[in-house]
Structure 1
């Protein structure tokens, strides 16, 4: 795996700025709803949007303050970019006109539009060349799969589902299953795209860092060396 030679300071500053913005957005809803009987913290934390944004905020803040460069960290960065991308795409296609308990427009925009764009942009600006393999794609998709199972099991217990496409009460389980299969295929394609873009942009950056004879002047993961 090859990553860019260091992260530009301005990128790290923006990571912290958007990370703090994300923290404010995530905390705003529970704080504003203190004492409101209809508000459920359990339901709030059961939205994929909220969970993916929490991960994205953690990645932004750690990336801005410490900027790790090891493979595990790059895998987590890629996963967070994927999950926020899923959040943005699903919202735009399926949920834009549906109430998902985010009545404040600025909060809604931050969680469904701003942070997805930021995490994907960060992945492209500081790419990690992870081999596009079935193991990588499958690993990234474990969390969405577990989330789907969790939502169905919890929904049956508390009689509440976070999203209409996860609610079997109106559509039935056959329709639900078909929809989930379609989503799984879309998510796999998005995961492949995220990994592939990391390779493409990482290769471009490696070429820029290499001299005429192919020597790499500096690399984030291993220092000077040859490819």
Structure 2
């Protein structure tokens, strides 16, 4: 029974690594092929998307779990995996509820978009729910998990003020102004916190069930 469970977990990990790396490479190829801006700016813009950075984090976690089943490493720690599950869930929610309706990707771009914003998030959250130990998650961890999105927000706002490029329409200061952008970011922050609290609460349910 335990061996079958490990095999199922490995299947998710292998699929996650393969689909994630393909999607990340595909998006990198597409942004270079667009030729809208010089290559160096294209590379910077590629790494300016929360979707890309978070999918890279997911790929690192999947790979670490696949190569090293033991706990102890940063990318295999339950707190890291839970935070990553929250991040990639926000990616999926924001895209599928808001951004999906702002454009119509075709061909490879459509495939890559579905992988980055739907398939990979589902795989990671599914793996987290089934296989990641949650009993030691703490409520105070949820605030530390906000450091990454906060640093990301500061980066894109600063770079946007210099370059004029904002990766997402709801953070476009040039179009909406700082007041509206900060309100939009507050709503996203609420989503982060709700998902984080929900994750720790789920961990508490597992703890009560196991009697630890």
- Matched residue, 1:19: 17
Pairwise CA RMSD of aligned residues? 2.4
Counterpart secondary structure, 2:53: helix
Following the alignment from structure 1 to structure 2, what is the Cα–Cα distance between the partners of residues 168 and 178?
A: 12
- Are residue 78 (structure 1) and residue 82 (structure 2) matched? yes
Q: 2:81, 2:132 within 8 Å by CA — same for their partners in 1?
A: no
**Which deviates further from its counterpart, 71-80 or 169-178?**
71-80
Gap regions ≥5 residues in structure 2: none
Question: What SS does structure 1 have at the residue aligned with 2:102?
Answer: coil
Contact 2:85 2:124 survives alignment (8 Å): yes
More helix by share: 2
Cα distance change, pair 34–59 in 1 and its aligned pair in 2 (3 A): same
Q: Which residue of 1 aligns with 2:142?
A: 137
* 1:137–1:192 contact (8 Å) kept in structure 2: yes
- What is the TM-score normalised by the length of structure 1? 0.80
Shift of 1:131: 3.4
Question: What is the alpha-carbon distance in structure 2 between the residues aligned to residue 34 and residue 46 of structure 1?
Answer: 14
Higher mean displacement: 34-43 or 90-99: 34-43
Equivalenced residues, count: 202
Q: Report which stretch shifted further, 30-39 or 47-56.
A: 30-39
The alignment's TM-score, normalised by the length of structure 2, stands at: 0.85
Greater shift in the superposed pair: 34-43 or 180-189 = 34-43
Structure 1 residue 154, shift from structure 2 partner: 0.8
Unaligned runs of 5+ in 1: 208-226
Instruction: Say if 1:123 and 1:198, in contact at 8 Å, map to a contact too.
Output: no
Q: How does 1:109-120 map to 2 (within 5 A)?
A: 109-120=114-125
Summarize the alignment of residues 1-227 of structure 1 with structure 2, pairs less than 5 Å apart: 8-34=6-32, 36-38=34-36, 40-70=42-72, 72=74, 73-99=77-103, 104-128=109-133, 129-133=135-139, 135-201=140-206, 203-204=208-209, 206=210, 227=212
Distance across 1 between alignment mates of 2:63 and 2:90: 21
Alpha-carbon deviation of 1:195?
2.2
